[in-house]
Chains A and B, each alone.
Chain A
Amino acid sequence: MRQRRTAAFLTSLVAGGLFLAACDAGPEAAAPESGPPDSGADAPASTKAEDAEGHPTLQRPAALALSCSGCHATAGEAIPSLESQTQATLEEKLTAYRTETDGTTVMHRLMRGYSEADIAAISAYIAGEADQ
């Protein structure tokens, strides 16, 4: 399945409420009332694992992109916004940082720590073009 998301995804994470709506799970889970703590295991682990496995926000591309959102807002000049950038553009820019040896910005130094595959995954994820 191919999920189409916008870069506003990062914003929606910021504005927790919005994303909360995005994660609407319908009716409330029937949780046991009180009782001893049991690690929140209110559904068989297998069912939950299957659902979660297919959930893009818990996968490696999303984890890699967690490092981006503390600096890159939806609007920005000194630090560019990641909004409305395609996967191809992002990948090209991030790869250029990695290879420009005379670059002076933090991104030049940071991107040298990422593999081509990671750069592709981050780009796809932020552009909202990640294959699940």
Chain B
Amino acid sequence: MTHAFLPHRRSVLTGLAGTAAMAAFAPQAFSQTSARLVVVGGGFGGATAARFLKTYLPNASVTLIEPNAAYHACPFSNLVIAGLRDIEAQRFGYDSLRAAGIEVVAQRAIDVDPARRTVSLEGGGEAVYDKLVLSPGIDIRWGALEGYDEAAAEVMPHAWKAGPQTTLLRQQLEAMEDGGLVVMSAPAAPFRCPPGPYERASLIAHYLKTQKPNAKLLILDAKDVFSKKPLFLEAWAEHYPEHLEWRGAADFGRVVSVDPASMTLSTDFEDIQADVANVIPPQKAGEIAERAGVADETGWCPINGLDFSSPLQKDIHVIGDATIAAPMPKSAFSANLQGKLCAMQIARILSGLEPQATVLANTCYSYVTPDAAVSITGVYGNEGGTPTSKEGAGGLSPEGAPGDVRQAEAAQAEAWFQTITAEVFGG
């Protein structure tokens, strides 16, 4: 067998294929492709794609390139910021993927050569691929918001990649005096997790209301319209009238520059000094997408919605937040589903079949209090390679719904997180 990861030429685990317990499926040639499949990024998209590629094509060598020994999930990290959840509950390792026969390489991919079909690794090695799946998530467009660079993020955390940034924002909120002002800057679309800033705002407001009743949160927004807006406005009016204020673009809410030294966020109208500043900055596809030549001038990656292949480079597929897949949102749900579908389509392609159109769903829950949540759903077709919303389907939780509907969705959110993280990382 050939191996994707050249420097060590270690054998991928083949032993698992030894049991014929459920041989009903035995699809001979179909499962025998020895293709070298490389996935970059072990988040919701990439870890899913790797797992399902190995499932569909057990004899292929599947290599997952991810620099971090453990992944910190963003979904539910807003609960950590509000002091309602331990960061450890967000942490997932890669042992279960290894046990499934996937070679996990703990390195950063630094370049892709589509002509030679190689991925170069930070440590100096190279991985050769027949098919490459990129799921690098987002990177921050440093400097796109004046004053917001990597050093500024240590003072005014974005916490839009989970991990140390999440903990930093949590610590700052804890250390803040009662009576302080928390300012959140929310970006223009497109960005990771459209309802995420507003879930976070709700939970920070809950923290302030219960722990620092004289403090306040101000959201400065580059937009006038945002995801689940009527539901958030309803919840904020009910739960946080004294603790949360949202200012949209029409009210000069758009932040045009920040100054970490003075903790100032400036709009076209005024300079606001914050005690804690959470700057959710403009974003783009993870940098490796640019290196691979699969990002366009927008900084995001166009895809063929049938199989998530890149129209810009042969044999490269892109999934998750890095893609332009609208109306599918940049969500963990979408990244996971795209990972599964992309793996299935690659299995079809390598088996001599055409990719096939299907129907895709998305569901995102957002907490508005620690035990009440609202949801947005969507259903999409991908005929002809263009994701399109199914008319009359999807949409928001009902406005004005009784408490038990909100509580039921909070319980469902929790169940979703457990199930999806088990599907991706093993549980």
Contact = CB atoms under 8 A, between A and B. Distances in A.
Contact of A23 (B31, B34, B358): B31
Interface of A is mostly: loop
Interface string A16-53: 11111111111011011111011110110111110111
Nearest to B27: A55
B129 interface: yes
B351 A49 contact: yes
Given A14-B422, A16-B54, A40 B17 contact: no
Contacts of B412: 71, 78-79, 106
Contact of A110 (B14, B30, B394, B405): B394
Interface in A47-79: 47-49, 51-55, 57-60, 62-64, 66-67, 69-73, 76-79
A29 B33 contact: yes
Nearest to B1: A31
Contacts of B54: 16, 20
Contacts of B398: 104
Interface of B is mostly: mixed
Given A39-B35, A51-B30, A51-B351, A70 B377 contact: no
B330 to A, nearest CB: 16
Interface in B229-269: none
B394 A49 contact: no
Interface residues of B, number: 88
Interface string B13-30: 010111111111111111
Interface of A: 3, 5, 12-26, 28-29, 31-35, 37-40, 42-43, 45-49, 51-55, 57-60, 62-64, 66-67, 69-73, 76-79, 104-106, 109-114, 118
9 contacts: A22-B24, A24-B23, A28-B59, A37-B130, A40-B60, A58-B56, A70-B420, A104-B398, A113-B379
Given A14-B423, A28-B34, A63-B341, 16 more contacts: A16-B52, A20-B17, A21-B17, A38-B130, A40-B130, A49-B352, A51-B30, A52-B353, A58-B56, A59-B356, A60-B358, A63-B344, A66-B344, A78-B411, A78-B414, A79-B416
